[in-house]
Structure 1
Amino acid sequence: MVSAKAQSYSDMPTTGRISDLSDYMVKLENIMKSIDNATAECMVIKIAIESAILKMNDGLESELLHKRYILFKSWEVISIELGYEHTHVHRIHGKALQHFDMGGYAIDKE
């Protein structure tokens, strides 16, 4: 799709449809625009989530959610870094999710 096709000769029947390189360029540009739009939408959602995490009252819960959902750390790494047992980290996580508030921002876009 990025470069011109080489001429191929075959004894197989063809459809006779002739396509132009400009058709591929238009398709490529449309795909690139949709990727850019999706990336921008994801960045808006990520910023909203980060802001909501930073606004949490409990610093430990905020730190745990930041490590898990922004830095994508594993539960084992988080428990080592925070100095808590694995099960206690999960308890803190459960409470953090109960206290988490997006401030009216709806992530679910249909």
Structure 2
Amino acid sequence: MTAKEYLSQAYKIDNDINSKLEQVASLRDLATKATSTISDMPGSPNRNIHKMEDAIVKIIALEDEINSDIHELISLKADITHMIKRVANRAERTILEKRYLCFDTWEQISVDMGYSIQHTFRLHDKALKEIDGFLKVES
């Protein structure tokens, strides 16, 4: 695994969590919709009369997955933080933290640090090479 792949894991888990949160919100909207149709026609014997219960069960299952993902993300971020703290140069550490822990864009990192985007990329590449060295030693 390269340094970039290692550091990018947190972003992917964070995106998974956000996606699942959107799904939960959608299911909550579905579960709270209550429509009634008044008709003298008999109801369909095949219709799902447990629609709300099914939605609640799915919400609970998704929330359990989200909690599991959050625990995984917290653990991974702690590992990544430990790895980043081993980088010698402070500016390089800051770039790695902003990119892989705060998920800032390259433009935002450059503006925040007062560097050109090219210089930010150079520092980032240098830091990744250092992290690659740490990962090779540990494997």
TM-score category by the smaller chain? 0.5 to 0.7
Structure 1 residues without counterparts, runs of 5 or longer: 106-110
Choose which of 69, 86, 94 in structure 2 pairs with 1:38: 69
TM-score (norm 2): 0.55
Distance in 1, Cα, partners of 2:52 & 2:116: 60
Greater relative CO, 1 or 2 (CA 8 Å, sep 6+): 2
Deviations 1:27-47 (A, max 9, x none): 332221112111211221122
What amino acid is aligned across from residue 74 of structure 2 in structure 1? M
How far apart are 1:62 and its partner, in Å?
1.0
Residues 56-71 of structure 1: pairs in structure 2 closer than 5 A: 56-71=87-102
Q: Which has the larger radius of gyration?
A: 1
Deviations 1:64-107 (A, max 9, x none): 211222233333343344443332221111111111145859xx
Distance in 1, Cα, partners of 2:138 & 2:100: 19
Choose which of 38, 45, 52 in structure 1 pairs with 2:83: 52
Q: 1:73 to 1:44 in 2, by over 3 A?
A: same
CA RMSD of aligned residues (A): 3.3
Aligned residue pair count: 105
Which structure shows the bigger proportion of residues in helix conformation?
Answer: 2
TM-score (norm 1): 0.66
Structure 2 residues without counterparts, runs of 5 or longer: 1-29
Indicate yes or no: 2:45 matched with 1:7: no
Distance in 2, Cα, partners of 1:21 & 1:76: 45
What amino acid is aligned across from residue 71 of structure 2 in structure 1? A
Q: Secondary structure at the match of 1:29?
A: helix
Q: 1:42 to 1:20 in 2, by over 3 A?
A: same
Fraction of identical pairs, as percent: 27
State whether residues 31 and 51 of structure 2, in contact with CA within 8 Å, keep that contact through their aligned partners in structure 1: no
